[in-house]
Amino acid sequence: MPGGAQLSVTDLRRATRQPVNLPVIGEHRRMGDVMLHIVNISSNGFMAQGVTDLGRGERVTVRLPQIGRIEAFIVWTKDDRTGFQFERIIRPEDFLKMVKSLQPNPRLRGKG
């Protein structure tokens, strides 16, 4: 198949999601800075709560620990929850470093 594998939304949702409590500031082209509260994250995207005034297909750029700036777009909204898909998949080793850095208990972060 030309262009590589085409993953469906269902396939993308199978990526392991990690629960987090991560407030971030997203950059939106029209609204400027928007507050996002990320409650779970995977290498493909994240779910945020409390997102208002943004609809499906809109894009934000967020800065994540260990990852840096990455763009994401809204793929679904339901009640006060919003699902975002990253513009690219985060490499597994970078994703693990990020999750480790978000661990609230320093003893569980391990070394390195």
For residue 4, is it within any domain? no
Flag whether 27 is in a domain. Answer: yes
In a domain, residue 51? The reply is yes
Q: What are phi and psi of 52, to 5 degrees?
A: -125, 155
Is 111 within a domain?
A: no
Q: What is the total count of domains within the chain? A: 1
Structure tokens given for 14: 């199978």
Looking at residue 50, its pLDDT comes to 87
pLDDT tens sequence for the chain (112 residues): 444 344 444 455 556 889 999 999 999 999 999 999 999 999 999 999 988 788 999 999 999 999 999 999 999 999 889 999 999 999 999 999 999 988 766 555 455 4
N-terminal to C-terminal alpha carbon distance within the chain: 40
Q: Residue 36: inside a domain, yes or no? A: yes
pTM score? 0.80
pLDDT at residue 14, rounded to an integer:
59
CATH code of the domain in which 49 resides:
2.40.10.220
